[in-house]
Structures are given as structure tokens and as C-alpha cells.
Amino acid sequence: MATGSSSPCSIAFLLGLYSLFFSLFICWTQAAHLYSSEDPVTILHSGTVKQTLQNSSSAWLVQFYSSWCGHCIQYSPTWKALAGDVKDWEPAIQIGVLDCADEKNFDVCKEFGVHFYPTFRYFKARNNKFDLGKPYRGANRELPTVRQVMVNFLQNHSQEEWPPACPPLESSRSSDVLALLGKKKQQYTAVIIEDENSFVGREVILDLMQYDGLTVMRALGSDASLLEKLGILSLPAGYLFHPNGKHELMKVHKTLRFFFSSFLKLLPGVRRRKLQSPRSSDLAVQEGDAAATVWKEFDKSKVYMADLESGLHFLLRIELASHQTLEGKELETFKDFVTVIAKLFPGQQPVVKLLETLLEWLVSLPLDRIPYDAILDLVNNKMRISGMYLTNKLEWVGCQGSQPALRRYPCSLWTLFHTLTVQAAERPDALANTGLEENAQAVLQTMRRYIGSFFGCQECGRHFEEMAKESMDQVTTHNEAVLWLWRKHNTVNNRLAGALSEDPQFPKTRWPTPDLCPACHEEVEGLHAWNEKEVLAFLKRHYGASNISPKYTAGPEEGTAGGQEDKEPSEQKPGWEDPKYGAHSPKSPYLEKLQGKERQEEGIGLHKEAKPGMSFLGLGFSNIDLSLCVLMYVSSGLFLMIMFFFFRMRSKRWKVRHNRFSI
């Protein structure tokens, strides 16, 4: 941090700020995810998820979430409440979470086929094979509904799969219940009598499974003789058999699960069993799981290229990775998306060149399905084409949040599309000869299709699609497209104001705020109103190329540029410099495979060589390729010369014979 004064007061003030920022930094590193070790959930990660789920003594319900997903953030209290509510069920079924936004978990989320967040999967107990789990697709994710689905899932276990610690959940026969009358036993026996569709009995059984001195059963109230002999007038009801042979109706305030369970846990001699729970949170939580994040000073009146490039990095290398193969409508959507960003992105030349090369490559391929790994190889520049580069680090500036789970990628995506709509309005000829030049909705429709196909937050995608259906078709000019996206962004801000996904340091409010654009705000009959002419002018200034700051932007050689200290490669985050993902790895088997297929179908291909060569139309040609071209050129020239002299001599001989004949 720089300062213009060296007085003792200034130094003391700066030391105070440093202490404050250091304290905030500690808080941020402790809140990198939506769940912590203090929550009643098992936190899984790439190093523990398989060994935890495979051949487990209990079943599992796992939520694959993303810490930036607004719906995941809002749902996290419900998930924590659910885990706390069924904590006593852990020997039978456990609650787990895995953050797919964590760099360490990208590959495992891809392996499990997680495309949207949150994704819920059930995993059976005692399964010694790798399993992707059974998805829960129910629209109702309220706590009681999910709890009942957990009970049903347990009952779907076969006898061989049944969790060893889980008691039977099937209903007992009336004769077995009546046989307990007057019998002395060493412990209590409680029977919940209920309707066939009731879950109270099974939930109480699971609530008491870790308690000694008690056996809990359930019976159906369809047998009138059972109800008559036990004196039961309404369902559900509880009946208690004492060890001394006494029996009676359970006297509870309300015939609900909580009251039954609490009554039984308070019986004399009933104690929680001292049993080592199969929870594996100690294995699942790694030290240093929260990435260290240093706050960056920024000007809110500026757009930062670091945010845009970090968004592209996350989009191309992380979010898209959940789709192993692109084909059909997904491939068309991705091609249109790359077309829009390649033509309109106002970035650094190495980034623009990479986007243009990716576009040329997609357009030239005659394939109707492309593996994602081939796209990743090109984004990582495994063809070693000089002069193109996209940062492989997440460097949030204007989109950084007061907590690591807030803002970030969703903010950068909004910023990217705002920038693209403005660029389309300012450069109407940029999309010429792409098939999108006559469409004022080109950027908006591309954004809509991308969010529907690839954006991880499925709930967010549904909300955006609802807004698009409502009024996107009414956009007829590029300026209207700019204003449409601004209006809808404010609509989203208004809907999420006060929600858990809102950053307290960056409250969701009407934007632009009066301090950024005082002329944008008016008052009509005592009510706030927008001056949309001024708003449009502001948006064009704010998202224009001249207002994009290069500060904190990373370059291909140095760690950062534009005011941030350079870092050695060894200091960068692990995982993105691995040879598997490195931007300068000399091997690209996926591009090589596509190259061979393309040669077979069209006779053209991407030429790949370990040594750098020449770039032509975005495709790399090695020295061998160039030598072959020269050889073919020389051979073709010699062949044409030979043919020329051959036909010339033949023509002369024909003329001589013809003239002699005439004579």
C-alpha cells in the first residue's frame, strides 16, 4: 500500500488499517465455503469423497454445491438444519457436502457428472463399487420432504446392503405387538401406531437408534382389534411397554415426531450409546482448505480486466469442464458464444487472439461432437502458438467479495455480458459475416442459451429464463439490448436484496447509484424514476473499452501486471500449473485425435509439432510442415513446366505434319 505522507500520525493510521485488514483476512480464510467443521455435515473433498462413500457402513445423502451459487447460499441454512435434525441417524445415513467451486474438487465433480448446483445424490451403504449415486430431482426441497425421501431411500436397501447399525423400519404385525402385553423384559419397548403413509414411526425409530435401554417398533393402525385392545382412539399414537410388564399409552402433548422422541429419550435408564460414529469429517476437512485471499483496493467507477479474464478462465476451464462432450444444441450454443466474445471482447491482444483462434478452430472442424478436453487443450495453448494467452488464475478485483463465497464469478459474468452488449452497440459491424450481424438480440440470446446450457446454478438459470421469456423478444435495437440487461440486473438485485447471498459490504441496490450517476436519478410525483437516456450514456461510458482498467491483470510471463507485485510461478495456486493443465505442455492427444479424424473426413487438420513454427489463420505449422509445403510447391512447378514443354513440342510436330500434307 502506497502513501503520500510519512508523518507519525499517517504511519499509525496505516498500521491500524493493516491490523483491520489482517483481521478481515483471517475471517475470510475461515469462511471460504458455505459449510465449516462446526456444522453438523460431513465436508467432503476430492481426497476423501470416494473412500468415504465406497463400502461405507452407512448410506449417504451428498449435496454437490458451488459456493458462489446464490441458490446454494440461500439453501445452506436448510441443509444445515436438516443435518442437525437427523444427526441421530448417522449410523444409518449421513449428510455430506462437496464444494465444486473449490479448485481441488473440479475433477471429482466432473467425474461425478455434476452439471448444476445444487445437485443431490444418494449413495447406498456397503457398496464396494464406484457409484455415481441416485439423483434427487424433486422440486420440493423443504426439510420435511427431504427427510422423508431419506427414509424411503433407506428402505430401498436390500438385505445385503442394509446398514448394520440401522434397526428394521418395516411395520410389525399386530400379533407381535399384542404378544408383548404383560411380559417382562430387560428394557422398554415403544410402539408407534400410525397410518400406512405416515413417517412418524420410522423417524422416531431412527431418532432412538443410538440409545440403549429401549426398542422402538412401528405398527399400522389398519387392524381395528389392535386399536381396541390398546385403547387407541386416534392416529398416530404411541404405546409403551415397561420392563416390569406394565403397559400404557404414551402421554405426549402433541402426537408429533419430536414429542414422541423427546418423551422416550427422557425415560429412566435410557441413555445414548457410547458408539463411535462413522462420521468422517476429521478425514474430510483438510487444513488450509480456505484459500488465502488478499484484499485489493479498487475504484468502483472502473471495470477491471482482471475480473473479465478471471470470468473467462472460470467459464472455459472450470464450468465447461462438467460437460465431457459438446454436441447438438450445446455445441451450437458454445460456437455462438465463442463467436460473440471473439468479436466483441475488448481485451488484451493475447486473449483476443486465443478467442479468435478458438473460433476459427470450431468453425473449421467438420465434426458434430467435440470432446471438452480438446477445447481445453486449445485454451491452454498446447499447440504452442505464439502470442496468445489466457490467465490461469482467479484474480477478482471489482468482483471480489467480503467473503470468498460472495460475488466473484456471478459478478464477473454479469460484467462480461454488460460489456458485450455495450460493445455490440458501439461497434455494430463487429459481428459482420457471422450470421448474427442483423440480430439486435445476439448478445442477449447467446447469454440466455449459455446460462440455460452451462451455467452451474440451475435455480438462477430458471429465473433468468423467466425474465427472458417475459420481454427479451421486444428488444429491437442494440441500445435497447443494453438497457434490457441493465433493467433485469436491477430486478435480480431487488429480488436478492437481504438474501443470504448478498454481500453486506456490497448491498444489492438500485444501480447505478447516485454517486456514480446523479443524472440517472429523478423524482416524479414523489417517487424515484430513472432517466434512461442518461442511464444508457452512463452504461456506455462505464462498460466502454476506455474505462476498463488493466490493473492487477496477469500476463503470460509475469505473475501480475498493472500495479500488483510479480510472483514466481511456484507461488501460484497448485493445480493450474500441473502438466495436465499447463498452458505450455507440448502434448495434446485430444487435438491430435481430432486432427487425424479431420484429415480423414476433409483432408485438412491441425498440424502439431513439439517445436514452435509459424502461425497462419490461427493454426500452428511446424518447420516440417513448411518444408513439405515448399517441396510440394517446387514439385508442382516442375511438373507444370514439363507439361508445358511437352504439349508445346507436340503442337509443333502436329503443325509440321499438317503443313506438309497441305503442300
What's the pLDDT at 601?
A: 46
Dihedral sign of CA atoms 38, 39, 40, 42 in order: negative
Q: How confident is the model at residue 655 (pLDDT cuts 50, 70, 90)?
A: low
| For the chain, percent of residues with pLDDT exceeding 90 | 49
Report, as an integer, the average pLDDT of 519-546.
Answer: 86
What's the pLDDT at 625?
A: 61
Angle between helices 458-471 and 70-85 (to 10 degrees): 140
pTM of this prediction exceeds 0.75: no
Which of 42-56, 361-375, 600-614 has the highest average model confidence (pLDDT)?
A: 42-56
pLDDT tops 50 at residue 288: no
Choices 1.10.760.10, 3.40.710.10, 2.60.120.460, 3.40.30.10: CATH for 42-155: 3.40.30.10
Across 153-162, 345-354, 589-598, 615-624, least confident range: 615-624
Query: Does residue 70 or residue 253 have the better pLDDT?
Result: 70
pLDDT tops 90 at residue 187: yes
What's the pLDDT at 595?
A: 54
Q: How confident is the model at residue 483 (pLDDT cuts 50, 70, 90)?
A: very high
What's the pLDDT at 2?
A: 43
> Tens digits of per-residue pLDDT, 51-76?
999 999 999 999 999 999 999 999 99
Please list the residues that pair with 121 across neighbouring strands: 62, 135
Q: Characterize the bridge pairing of strands 369-371 and 325-327.
A: antiparallel
Taking alpha carbons only, the member of 419, 416, 340, 356 closest to residue 389 is 356
> Are both 42-155 and 174-272 of the same fold?
yes
Q: How confident is the model at residue 606 (pLDDT cuts 50, 70, 90)?
A: very low
| Spatial distance between the Cα atoms of 43 and 36, rounded to a whole number of angstroms | 7
Extents of the domains making up the chain: 42-155, 174-272, 303-549, 622-663
What's the pLDDT at 293?
A: 67
What's the pLDDT at 527?
A: 60
Across 4-8, 392-396, 613-617, least confident range: 613-617
For domain 174-272, the CATH class is alpha beta
Taking alpha carbons only, the member of 479, 471, 382, 472 closest to residue 426 is 479
- The domain defined by 303-549 folds into Four Helix Bundle (Hemerythrin (Met), subunit A) (1.20.120)
> Tens digits of per-residue pLDDT, 290-330?
445 688 899 999 999 999 999 999 999 988 888 888 988 99
pLDDT tops 70 at residue 276: no
Measure Cα distances from 422 to 159, 484, 663 in Å.
62, 12, 83
Taking alpha carbons only, the member of 299, 543, 592, 504 closest to residue 415 is 543
Please list the active-site residues.
69, 72
What's the pLDDT at 118?
A: 93
pLDDT tops 80 at residue 282: no
For residue 310, the SS3 value is helix
pLDDT tops 90 at residue 89: yes
Q: How confident is the model at residue 38 (pLDDT cuts 50, 70, 90)?
A: confident
Report, as an integer, the average pLDDT of 612-634.
Answer: 59
